[in-house]
Structure 1
Amino acid sequence: MAAQIVPLPRKQPEASIEPMLAITASGMNQVNQVILDRMQSEIPLIPALAGHLISGGGKRLRPMLTLAGAQLVGYNGTRHYKLAAAVEFIHTATLLHDDVVDGSDLRRGKAAANIIFGNPATVLVGDFLFSRAFELMVEDGSLKVLKILSGASAIIAEGEVDQLTAQRKIETSEERYLQIIRAKTAALFAAASRISAVVAECSEDEERALDEYGRNLGVAFQLVDDALDYDADAAQMGKDRGDDFREGKMTLPVILAYARGDEEERIFWRAAIMGHRSSDEDLAHAVTLIAKHGAVEETRERARHFAARAINALACFPDGKARQAMEQAARFAVARGY
């Protein structure tokens, strides 16, 4: 019987990504070597542009989920190294494409690839990394793994298109928002977690448990990202504060503040989301309104709910370092300030 979901406490000083980093450190060395090898090309621009982002200091949480999941289920082979690299290539490709779509200036605290190399090169190198990811999947030889990761790639693209069509639409509902982040973010978290059970030839129940863990962790992670856009400065986030605001994205803090605001506040939000109120002063006003209605804290509260569901999904696995590290990763996802 599955354990009852226990909401995570608001203050979690023990929440840390360090246990996850510790148990995956050796494996990530193998993954990083695959990444380094497979991002090479006879066309110098490709490794230069890909390396700009890949070496940019990201947490690499998604490939770590594949490695941690493999430890959780007792897998002792090596297939998961290439698959974890494929996961990271898929993620990196989507970031490159996102920065072009969003017109981003910063990524992980430094100039985005599209600012340095231009939009055409950034899109094409993203395509190259997608292709490399599929090469790695095919080399693995498992049709089930290929189905999971290719399916996740399609869902991510659908989520990004869905987000684009919802952009600057003030009527976007919380349900629609959750649908978008389940696709554009949580799908890859779920796939990265699930494939470790596939290579270990685990039961369907264990596969589903790891899928559930990753999916809920992904939702929690994105909720906190969206909260931080109205709650942290650019130095913490590694991107321009207010990016979502200026791009007219209807994230949960805005959806909640708009729903709870009076008519004067709603007039402001309608103008802002349409792009007519996008100055620094307008952003400051938006942050004030979001704070007034407790929208950042409530967004974090929703994230704690999904993190608790992620932890609950691991109840069918024996306790140990891997499970504890994965539980800590879920707590870290909602407690982080960056």
Structure 2
Amino acid sequence: MNFASDNTVGASAPVLQAIVEANAGAMAAYGNDEITRRVRARFAEIFERDVDVFFATTGTAANALALSSAVPPYGLCICHREAHVIDDECGAPEFFMHGAKLTGLPGVGAKLKADDVAAYVKSLPRAVKQMPPKALSISQVSEGGLVYDLDELAALGAVCREHGLAFHMDGARFANALVALGCTPAEMTWKRGVDILSFGATKNGGLMAEAIVVFRTDLAEALDYRSKRAGQIISKARLIAAQFEGYFADDHWLANARHANRMAKALSEGLARLPGVRLAWPTQANEVFPIIPHALDRALKAAGILYNPWTELSLPEGEHVGEGEVLVRLVASWATREEDVHRLLEIASSGVSRHAAE
């Protein structure tokens, strides 16, 4: 049973079928095809306004290109200190920003607070020796599995407007956050001040389906050229765009995300009922972060269950991982089966019972 990531499962049937259908015959290359035009129009419908859309094959490429459009080489991009853009992308954003810098701030559950961002910006000296802040990047869902609510997004958007920062959202798990909030894509993005979005589909049923959705026209001006230089203008672009047709059809993307979130909730509630287990942060989307005894960790691993240890940097005040404990992350996906969740909980319960009897 693999709960290591939502990247470990394949693509969903509607996405694969859309690729098969798009594969027939010949079409114009490099995004000049009818499928790509339809998908761009669909993005505009979903976000309730005109948007510029650029496709990418990976989330790293989408994030790096998005930030490169917003931050000049002498600029600074603010993010959480555990954000994917600063911690998991091998310096790609800084590379594509041609030397601009990412700086990470602390925050519980890998979330940033508007007041903390504002205070940091105000603390920076206004001198040529200091790189000026040009953008804010947040992860929605955060690296602690938490979801920014609409008020939090609006507050961050207001800070960006006040200080002239472009507001970027890393939406690798965009759909999971969206269904958790029960809002519209527009309400979770540009209506709260987001300027540019890395829209992820790969974790939620796509094969390699990422998009940069731009709400501020000036940020889109050079993205065609930046995408070309990054090798992200694909000759058979229709096969990238087609994934989104299958993804969006009949709200398949939302159904996938709801299922993943529901599986994570069931897993979270079951683990939290076990003696000696507690959650580092609430389960708000499709990731679960329990603090478990080493004995339970050994029992789960002995049963062949895959998951990952996690960092303790963003624990709430007063919480800590004690001696004999470990903080881990388990991720549910659109393909997670209920029987696998139940089986994991059975193994966990048995492991806890054996440990108590020893």
Greater strand fraction, Structure 1 or Structure 2: 2
TM-score exceeds 0.5: no
Q: TM-score, normalised by structure 2?
A: 0.25
Q: From the CA coordinates, give the structure whose radius of gyration is larger.
A: 2
Greater helix fraction, Structure 1 or Structure 2: 1
Q: TM-score, normalised by structure 1?
A: 0.26
